[in-house]
Structure 1
Amino acid sequence: MPPRRSHKKSRAGCRRCKVRKIKCDEVHPRCGNCSKHGVSCDFEHPGVRDTHTPNIASTSDATPAPTETPRPASSTSASVSAHSPATHGDSPTNASDTTTPTIIGSTPVPIYKTPEPLPLSSTTTKRNRMLELKLLHNFTTMTAKTLSVSSPVLERIWRVTVPELAFSSASYLADTLLAVSALHLRSSAPHDRELIRASHSYMASACSEYGACLSKGVTESNAEALFLTAALIAFQSTASRIFTRDDINDRTGGYSLPLSWFHSFQGVKAVVAATWQWLRISTIVIPIIESQPALNLDLSGHPTFFSDLMVGVEDEVAKFENDTATQLETRMAYQHAIAVLDWAHKIPYTGAPLVFLATVSRRFIELLEARRPRALAILASYFALLKCLDDVWWLKGVARREIMGIVSLFDPDDEEWWPRLQWPLRIALHDNVIIPPQVWGRDWAAQTTNTSQGGGFVSHIELLSDMFSTMPQMNGATPDLEPAHQYIVEQEGMMRDILLPEGLEILPVD
């Protein structure tokens, strides 16, 4: 009888083969037996092998051992080895058996698991997510710097604080940030259809949600978000003007006035006045207001640089206004608008001219809509003030284009108004942003006006708040926001008529 061939028992087989008491071919990353039956093999996860060897002797070929109940993590390896029964997940199976064994819960769990899918909409694509990241990055690194003329504190609010507020409380504010950022990127790529669609789609979404919120009223928790959204909508309305055609024609073929600018800024004013009880103590809104130069208006009637724009006002109101109250309202609308021009003319490079849009009265806007010559001449002078901000991306070329458009509405033989348009024309045609005093009409650099205190704006808002407080209350506690809601509805419609390029459909945001 030949000697018995020596045999070395393998101890490196997979756990499943050991439990089934069959020879494992030890093929990695999945042994032959496990591959054949389509089950998990612990060779695939070498770092998650049990710390103890199964008790083969206690395993019955006919009856599987009960499934092991997991022990607390604090149990020691010694107690596990001494007291834990062997665990296996299937009954012994012949090599020819093609039935897939049942996997019991003790199958080793891999360390690295496939992550659960993110809770994104089924319509959200990777491209859309990357676009939003791009827009947010651009807003925080670039756009926020352009929302303030010369205020580091205000820049940080737009760059850091406002996005944080958008993430925590208001999706419409977040949509507005993305819309403004897309518009900013368009200034370098005006024909990029992806940016065009993003700018309009996000703004349309923001206006819809924002309008719904206004219709329900405001609370202390959302007053800041509503103000910031209104401010960014007004900014979007203003900045979008640079992407319109050079002639800025309306449906009749003539020059189209930028009425959307005024409507959107009037909306900001209405929101501020209606929510001032909360905004007056806001650490976000008050710095924005105080960053503006003091609004010191001269309403005394003394001669000023723009006094000639008031000449003949009595004859005009007597001709066009039927009652004394309307005559007084019209006269005051002109007087107040011209006072703002005089104030901003003294300190043009501080950003003061931008205040004009929010401070003029509703009556003045009605006079613009009626295309009264005096209102148009005042508007031309306002755009001349913006010439000193021509290096800002969203105001580049605006002064010249708008003034030439307004002038086109006048007859050159008009002896009454054509001479009063000469100053805006000279400013519009000037080649440089820095305008010499002899052209500007005042040595603005030598002015001693104190622009470091912002109390004038706070007082102005206090007056508006008092006016709104006399209106009916919503739900017994919330200020009436119908004026603000009206403006935002008007603005949403104007976006489609004025801001939307022809042939481009506004699609919902994914």
Structure 2
Amino acid sequence: MSTSRRSHRKTRTGCNNCKRRKIKCGEERPACTNCTRHSIQCDFVGTPSATTSASPGNLQTPDTDHPDSTPSVPANGATQGELPNYLVNGNALSLNLVHLELLHNFTTSTSFTLSQNPLLRTLWRINVPQIGLSYTFVMHGILSLSALHLAHFRSDRRSFYLSCAQAEHETALRAASSILPNITEDNCSALYVFAAITCVFAWASPRKPGDFLLITNDGIAEWLILFRGTRSIIDLSPEMLFNGPLGPMFRSGARAIHGHNYAINGDDHLAELRHFIEATKPDQAAMCIYNKCIEELAKSFAAVYGRDVSLFESGNVFVWLYQVESEYLMLLSKRTPEALAIFAYFCVLIKQLEFNWWIEGMSSRLISNIFYLLDEDHRLWIRWPMEEVGWIPH
């Protein structure tokens, strides 16, 4: 008995995967059944008008220059009963998976490490990414911080994540710098949160031995200038920030500052530092600045030092640095022993936060920097901070 060979109609519009395998393509959209079954990306060609491909990392959008090539698309991006055009064209898989991984890590992990306050954790997890959807420099900042977080814990891919972090942050910095001179009601929240992200990024970035963290040849460190810059943003637009998407963060910070009137800690260490400074007989103006810094630092010690971590917010540690007078920072940039010694005592408070990955080891690096900027006599002034931080000179 002779058997006749069953013929089938060849198609020129199937996907390339089916053509290479020499099997009939069902031409289902956006992915044919064969490709779906084998879990491979379908490059279904379809009609000639759908052959335009999307660039890597971007979703395909309709060709507005040739409206006849695609169906009319209403506000929701799809015709009645049809898929959005970028899905019809078969480019739904053209996603930047690294960005998705970094954003997922930020919302499920990194955001929970940026505050002890449950309300502020939610703000970092929800509100901040929402701002990033409107301001790409914020989104790039979010991704850079998430990449640093992964690099800290994923040693097997550390180099990859560090390169991602650097690239994302540089992209964000270029965009943010262009609008920083023009703070408005619309962009003030975005600029503030990016400045905050950049501070954490600077603290979390890997350091080489010998890197300065407080004083450089050009003056005080860039991260300290940036931290103080956040105060400038607040001073320019306080009402807009308090009523914007970051409102809970600012109201919490205001409570920390106004409630920072704890009784002065009975510890004698700061009193001893004041005695050391008075013995050097600085001029009256400088002594007033040093006294005020020590007085405010004593309040921070009462609020934070020796207390259970659940009883204070991370922001309480930085209240002193936020409030300190600009004249003190000028003295610090001049490397006066008195200003350096006061900052060494502040390092003891930073140590209280070092259960967080993004600030781990910062107190030791700062103390090291200060120690080697002081002469032998003034190094005796900071023995107690060195012991509390646990740093030992080489």
Alignment of 1:37-76 (within 5 A): none
Instruction: Give 1:425's match in structure 2, choosing from 377, 381, 386.
Output: 386
The match for 1:69 is none
1:462-494 deviation per Cα after TM superposition (whole angstroms, max 9, x unaligned): xxxxxxxxxxxxxxxxxxxxxxxxxxxxxxxxx
User: Unpaired runs of 5+ in structure 1?
Assistant: 1-24, 32-42, 48-108, 319-326, 432-510
Change (3 A) 1:340 1:145: farther
Change (3 A) 1:396 1:117: same
Distance 2:7 2:337 in 1: 92
The match for 2:121 is 155
| Aligned amino acid, residue 288 of structure 1 | M
Greater mean alpha carbon deviation, residues 224-233 or residues 183-192: 183-192
Alignment pair present for 1:224 and 2:189: yes
1:96-146 deviation per Cα after TM superposition (whole angstroms, max 9, x unaligned): xxxxxxxxxxxxx989x9686346579x9x999222111111111111011
Q: CA deviation at 1:430?
A: 8.4
Distance 2:105 2:57 in 1: 24
The match for 1:277 is 239
The match for 1:234 is 199
The match for 1:30 is 10
Greater mean alpha carbon deviation, residues 305-314 or residues 294-303: 294-303
Verify the 8 A CA contact 2:103 2:142 in the aligned structure 1.
yes
| Aligned amino acid, residue 196 of structure 1 | L
Change (3 A) 1:46 1:343: closer
Distance 2:222 2:370 in 1: 16
Change (3 A) 1:313 1:221: same
Verify the 8 A CA contact 2:138 2:172 in the aligned structure 1.
yes
Change (3 A) 1:184 1:212: same
Change (3 A) 1:314 1:274: farther
| Aligned amino acid, residue 175 of structure 1 | H
**Identity of aligned pairs, percent?**
24
Distance 1:110 1:387 in 2: 62
The match for 1:131 is 98
Change (3 A) 1:46 1:272: closer
Distance 2:344 2:209 in 1: 17
Q: CA deviation at 1:171?
A: 0.8
Alignment pair present for 1:184 and 2:149: yes
Q: How much is the aligned-residue C-alpha RMSD, in angstroms? A: 3.9
1:264-297 deviation per Cα after TM superposition (whole angstroms, max 9, x unaligned): 1111111111111311222x32211233462255
| Aligned amino acid, residue 172 of structure 2 | A
| Aligned amino acid, residue 331 of structure 2 | L
Verify the 8 A CA contact 2:263 2:299 in the aligned structure 1.
no
Distance 2:51 2:296 in 1: 60
By relative contact order (CA 8 Å, sep 6+), the higher-ranking structure is 1
Change (3 A) 1:391 1:255: farther
Alignment of 1:467-486 (within 5 A): none
Alignment of 1:286-365 (within 5 A): 286-292=247-253, 294-295=256-257, 296=259, 305=268, 306-311=270-275, 312-313=277-278, 316-318=281-283, 328=285, 330-348=286-304, 349=309, 350=312, 351=314, 352-365=316-329
Distance 2:350 2:143 in 1: 26
Change (3 A) 1:30 1:248: closer
Verify the 8 A CA contact 1:368 1:376 in the aligned structure 2.
yes
| Aligned amino acid, residue 302 of structure 2 | K
| Aligned amino acid, residue 145 of structure 1 | F
The match for 1:263 is 225
Verify the 8 A CA contact 1:237 1:264 in the aligned structure 2.
no
User: Unpaired runs of 5+ in structure 2?
Assistant: 12-23, 29-44, 61-92
Q: CA deviation at 1:46?
A: 9.9
Verify the 8 A CA contact 1:139 1:159 in the aligned structure 2.
yes
Q: CA deviation at 1:204?
A: 1.5
| Aligned amino acid, residue 248 of structure 1 | D
Distance 2:323 2:332 in 1: 15
Q: CA deviation at 1:353?
A: 1.6
Instruction: Give 1:390's match in structure 2, choosing from 334, 337, 354.
Output: 354
Alignment pair present for 1:193 and 2:149: no
Q: CA deviation at 1:300?
A: 11
The match for 2:137 is 172
Q: CA deviation at 1:375?
A: 0.9
Verify the 8 A CA contact 1:28 1:44 in the aligned structure 2.
no
Distance 2:25 2:202 in 1: 59
Distance 2:337 2:218 in 1: 15
Change (3 A) 1:280 1:409: same
User: Secondary structure of 1:270's match?
Assistant: helix
Verify the 8 A CA contact 2:132 2:138 in the aligned structure 1.
yes
| Aligned amino acid, residue 112 of structure 2 | K
Which one has a larger percent helix, Structure 1 or Structure 2?
Answer: 2
Higher Rg: 1
Alignment pair present for 1:381 and 2:381: no
Change (3 A) 1:186 1:378: same
| Aligned amino acid, residue 424 of structure 1 | P
Change (3 A) 1:121 1:180: closer
Q: CA deviation at 1:391?
A: 1.5
1:421-457 deviation per Cα after TM superposition (whole angstroms, max 9, x unaligned): 12102202289xxxxxxxxxxxxxxxxxxxxxxxxxx
Verify the 8 A CA contact 1:223 1:279 in the aligned structure 2.
yes
Q: CA deviation at 1:195?
A: 1.9
Verify the 8 A CA contact 1:248 1:256 in the aligned structure 2.
no
Instruction: Give 2:211's match in structure 1, choosing from 245, 248, 251.
Output: 248
| Aligned amino acid, residue 123 of structure 2 | I
Verify the 8 A CA contact 2:344 2:382 in the aligned structure 1.
yes
The match for 1:97 is none
TM-score w.r.t. structure 2 length?
Answer: 0.68
| Aligned amino acid, residue 151 of structure 2 | R
Q: CA deviation at 1:407?
A: 2.1
